[in-house]
Amino acid sequence: MHFPAGAVLMEVGAAEDWLFVLVEGEVDVIRRDRWIRMGPGTTIGEMELLDPRGRSATITAYTPVRALRLSKAAFDEALRLSPDIARGVIIDLVRRVRETHEPRPPS
């Protein structure tokens, strides 16, 4: 899928059963008073597939983005078939939790 800069890929609170793997471009992940910029190779939306309480962030394209869309069924099958994929998802989630909860440097 292709998204122009400024496009909203996901909105906080939405209940959806898919994720994106970013192939090209960068996105801004906006969660409460924090934002993180992510680029190629990043998965976005996997938290909703693991804990379906609605999207936890709004994702907008910072640059034009090309992304692969993966359904919950395909994601579940990939996790079942490949412990390396499951490990990668866990490592990425831990990194993001740390980035989101680290104190901001003084302005």
The rounded distance, in Å, linking the Cα atoms of 12 and 57 is: 4
DSSP state letter for 67: E
The CA distance from 11 to 28, in Å, is 12
pTM: 0.79
Q: Give the per-residue pLDDT at 107.
A: 58
pLDDT higher than threshold 80 for residue 105: no
Cα dist. 44→8, 48, 104, 105 in Å? 13, 9, 22, 25
For the chain, give the mean pLDDT. Answer: 87
pLDDT digits (tens, 9 = 90+) for 18-69: 999 999 999 999 887 788 899 998 888 888 888 888 888 899 999 999 999 9
How big is the chain by its Cα radius of gyration, in Å?
A: 14
Residue 18 near residue 70, CB atoms below 8 Å: yes
